[in-house]
Amino acid sequence: MSDIEHPVVRPRRLRTTPAMRELVAETTLTPAQLVLPVFVREGASEPRPISSMPGVVQHTRDSLRRAASEAVQAGLKGIMLFGIPETKDAVGSGATDPEGILNVAIADVAAEVGDNLVVMGDLCLDEFTDHGHCGVLTPDGRVDNDATLLRYAEMAVVMADAGVDLVGPSGMMDGQVAVIRDALDRAGHTDTGILAYSAKYASAFYGPFREAVDSSLKGDRRTYQQDGRNAREGVAEALLDIEEAADLVMVKPALAYLDVIRRVREAVDVPVAAYNISGEYAMVEAAAERGWIDREPAILETLTSIRRAGADIILTYWATEAATLLRR
């Protein structure tokens, strides 16, 4: 008879089969929790691949409509639109042009999907300015917070007129949510919601996105995006945005800021989104292309980690594909 004392408590009992593991899973990841960010290029006659983001393209208006329909079929509930104009200027005039690419794309997608998909639009000037910053510049080259707020207010109303369900102010200007809410309400768009990019950090992981939107950025955004060393500040920004009537708040990036997602989730009572950004996407795709990791499990593990940290909603370029993987 063996002298080995067998363990009484055996956690492995709850890992014995796939059914058992599903039964006791603490974190759920479903297609309805995923939002697909998309890029649409003015004047494009065919989709243009983005070299640093394999599988992601700059859409034409027609291919964008198809992508939106595919998102609905996959079970997604949200899509976030970014516009790439043919011409730019110092104040980002294309952002507030009702016939500008972002606004016509919003109208296209809203007409295509109806109420089956929440249509979101990035409310920022960086794609539309020739200097690439998220706001209007002073003569000495600084971003003018309050002058930028006036542009954001106008942009919000034009986007709402086009049919957007949620505007996503991402410029990190002080007071942006309050100004946007006031402008929307004054224009009669009381049902248009605000997904505030509340804790948006200056990050090294945005590189591929700048290719995706043909960024003209000169310098950096450290005077308005948050310092990556600060977590409490992220919570403070989220609480301030809620005071200003944000309907949802967001942490961006996601993977390098999982702790901030958790802190924000514990501090607020509104839905929390997280943006699985371009550099995070590109790292997985590059490693998988080289055979260093198993791509599909890595995608789902990445997204599950963001959910586990506390995000209710995840913006990810894998959204449609991940929805398909989840249904297998």
| DSSP secondary structure of 285-310 | HHHHHTTSS-HHHHHHHHHHHHHHHT
- Which stretches of the chain are DSSP H helices? 18-23, 61-74, 101-113, 145-162, 176-186, 207-212, 232-243, 258-267, 278-289, 295-309, 319-327
Q: What kind and span of H or E run contains 122?
A: strand 118-123
* Catalytic-residue membership of 200: yes
The catalytic residue among 77, 88, 200, 218 is 200
| DSSP secondary structure of 38-80 | EEEETT-SS-EE-TTSTT-EEE-HHHHHHHHHHHHHHT--EEE
* Catalytic-residue membership of 77: no
What is the distance, to the nearest Å, from the Cα of residue 248 to the centroid of all Cα atoms in its chain?
Answer: 12
Asked whether the beta carbons of 120 and 273 are under 8 A apart, the reply is no
Q: At what angle do helices 61-74 and 319-327 cross, to 10 degrees?
A: 30
What is the distance, to the nearest Å, from the Cα of residue 75 to the centroid of all Cα atoms in its chain?
Answer: 18
The catalytic residue among 77, 88, 218, 252 is 252
Q: Which residues are annotated as catalytic? A: 200, 252
